[in-house]
Structures are given as structure tokens and as C-alpha cells.
A = this chain, B = another copy of it.
């Protein structure tokens, strides 16, 4: 159910549309529709033909991958303003992961077939998209560095801080991760198990660093958490 017309003001502040004139933005937008996703709705599924790409306007998504053996990992969290589902730019015809809404969300949708045209007709967009993908590569590489060199507690620290930075909003007493996230999710982001994450967060909670609840997380002391994540302060767990 496409909206009648998409307004340029929806997107013109996004880094993705920087340096583009109104006419160009309108042209790109004219090929899009918008779509709503409810909690737990699947936006696209791993292995399915990548026939659409998206920009998230509102809400949050979790992108996961499963191994042939059924092990799951969380690839990333999609925040408002993020481009996602761009299999075309990754040289693939299918989606490498599954995207699920973790809260009510709204996204702009393009057919994948529009990608090439947009990239070739709007060099500024291509340059911006490259920046975005580059930033993602950056992040993927620092995750590799973390997973291969750091002990679990520090990895969890980095993951929590990243969540706070990208998806947190300030609240009295700390930074609230403003969407439902389970310990299982955090485990899948850090390559460990639910059990270990639970133990670590319990230890942190006792030290007053964070405060949790069922699918809730409040970072109370990001500074000390950063020290732990960077190995400048000894681990607390067990």
C-alpha cells in the first residue's frame, strides 16, 4: 500500500542524500513506496531472491544469519536512516541474512532493479552509498579484531557500548537501549552463549554498571564499561 507521494523532507537530512539537489532526491524517491512492519514481521529472508532494497525510516530491525548447522548470529541492528537489503551492492542475487522487525517499523522500499539506474544517474548517491558500505566494512573488521583477540567479557562490553551509541537514548540514570533485546541476542552478537552473557551482566549489575530486566537494558556507567571493554580495568565476571 504505497502512500500517495513521498515527501522529500523524509530523507533529505540523511547522510545518504547529502549533496544531492532536490530534483535528484525527488527522482530517487519517485521510484519508492513505503511499508509498515509490525513486531516480529520478517522483512526479507536469508536465501530469498533479493528483489527489493530499503531505507529504514522508523523502528528497528535485527539482521541475522544462520549457519547450515542451525547456529544463529546477529549480523547487525538496523537503525532509522540506515540502508539495508542492498544485496546488489554486495554482488549477490539473494539476501545473505534475515531481517526481522524488533518493534513497529516503517521503511522505504525500492525494487532492486532500480539500484543500477540510481547509482549510475546520481554519482553523489553512489559516493554516499559507498561511504555507508565502507563504514559497515570498517565495523565488520573491528568485530573480527574483537572476536579474535578479546576475551568474552570485553567483547560483550564492546557490543553493549555499540548498542548504546547506535540505538540508545539518554534517560535519567543512564542510556536506555530503546528496543527489546534479549541476552540471547547479545550472545549471538558476540559469538558466545546466553549463559555466559547472563553471568557477565549479573556481575556488571552488582557493580552498578548496568541495569537489566526482561529484554531491557540500561547502561548506567558507560565510562567504566569502556574501560573494561578496552581492557584497562580487570574483568568483573565470576
Where the two chains meet, the residues of A that have a C-beta atom closer than 8 Å to any C-beta of B are 65, 67-69, 71, 73, 75, 86, 89-92, 96, 116, 119-121, 123-124, 126-127, 129-131, 133-138, 140-141, 143-145, 147-150, 190-191, 230-231
Contacts and interface: CB of A to CB of B under 8 A. Distances in A.
A79 to B, nearest CB: 17
A142 to B, nearest CB: 8
Nearest to A76: B141
Contact of A126 (B91, B130, B141, B144): B130
Contacts of A137: 90, 133, 136-137, 140
Nearest to A137: B137
A190 B144 CA distance: 10
Nearest to A97: B141
Nearest to A131: B91
A134 B91 contact: yes
A145 to B, nearest CB: 6
Interface of A is mostly: helix
Contact of A145 (B73, B116, B141, B145): B73
Contacts of A231: 68-69
Given A130-B89, A130-B133, A144 B138 contact: no
A75 B191 CA distance: 19
Given A89-B131, A135-B90, A138-B90, A191 B126 contact: no
Contact of A127 (B68, B126, B134, B136): B126
A81 B75 CA distance: 29
A181 to B, nearest CB: 18
A165 B233 CA distance: 42
A138 B191 contact: no
Contact of A148 (B73, B92, B133, B138): B73
User: Which 9 pairs from chain A and chain B are nearest by CB?
Assistant: A148-B191, A140-B140, A90-B134, A126-B126, A71-B149, A89-B134, A137-B137, A130-B130, A123-B123
Given A75-B141, A123-B123, 11 more contacts: A65-B141, A67-B145, A67-B149, A68-B231, A89-B130, A91-B135, A91-B138, A96-B138, A126-B127, A137-B140, A143-B144
